[in-house]
A = this chain, B = another copy of it.
């Protein structure tokens, strides 16, 4: 069956509030550096009071990836829950404006739309504080099995595991994809997230996942490896396709047929904000796959997309990735 979508993504629908901060600020306000910490509504309101020069933009890991897919000219569908409030409306408007199919009905009477308060330090690292709010309301009814079955790849973010009740929705999406013979891709999201749900993730890899995205810290947490090389050995022993990203050290791709690629990072004049780097790598990689590129090509396109997004504040591409792809000689 021909697919209606290149990729269907399911994840938390979040609006980001990004602001510059010093390492001293992180220490003073007990913000854990470079990772994602879950916060409650009170802590969110307290942190927002501290933000002097913040910018608000639609975010969420899988949602960012879908934005990248659209920027590359791909056809994508996103599933994720907002409330019908100001932030929720803004999130939906942004998704549609960039050409992503997004029609998850907003929660009417729920917690507010999720937000992620992101402190960006001068070294470009982002430290994320997520209030999940309306994301907790995602239900299996929000998952359109026909749309998932009509997508080449189903892409799932690990952060979803932070809501116990989103698991039924994920299971429904996976069943729809598998039933139609589609591929299932999964991103680990965050090393602490891996720590929280490691055995569930490994179980998922055993049974459902075809394509795994992990950065170095996530891969080491997932495989309980002391160094990258050990994590790579475990990834190669797994039956799926592993895409392991290593920030400025580039990426390593390990395929089930034994193929291994070691690619350098795409050049970046200056790293401003690493928010969304992994999301955009996944966008380029998955878009490449959907166009039948070889693994080297997929990884290179992932690197180009990631390089764009770390060159400026914000987690979504500012330049047309389709144009960047063309300029890079694809």
Contact = CB atoms under 8 A, between A and B. Distances in A.
Interface string A159-202: 00000000000000000000000000000000000000000000
Contact of A229 (B229, B258, B262): B262
Interface string A226-237: 011100110010
**Quick one: copies of this chain in the complex?**
2
A249 B252 CA distance: 13
A229 B258 CA distance: 14
Contact of A263 (B229, B260, B296): B229
Interface residue tally of chain A, by bracket?
A: 10 to 19
A85 interface: no
B296 A262 contact: no
B228 A264 contact: yes
Q: Residue among A232, A260, A261 with the most chain B CB within 10 A? A: A260
Interface in A259-317: 260-264, 296
A242 to B, nearest CB: 12
14 contacts: A227-B263, A228-B262, A228-B263, A229-B261, A229-B263, A229-B296, A232-B260, A232-B262, A236-B260, A249-B249, A249-B264, A252-B262, A258-B258, A262-B262
For the complex of A and B, the 10 pairs showing the least CB-CB separation, nearest first, are: A260-B260, A229-B261, A229-B263, A258-B258, A229-B262, A232-B262, A252-B262, A229-B296, A262-B262, A228-B262
Given A228-B263, A232-B260, A232-B261, 17 more contacts: A227-B263, A227-B264, A228-B262, A228-B264, A229-B261, A229-B262, A229-B263, A229-B296, A232-B262, A233-B261, A236-B260, A249-B249, A249-B264, A252-B262, A258-B258, A260-B260, A262-B262
Interface of A: 227-229, 232-233, 236, 249, 252, 258, 260-264, 296
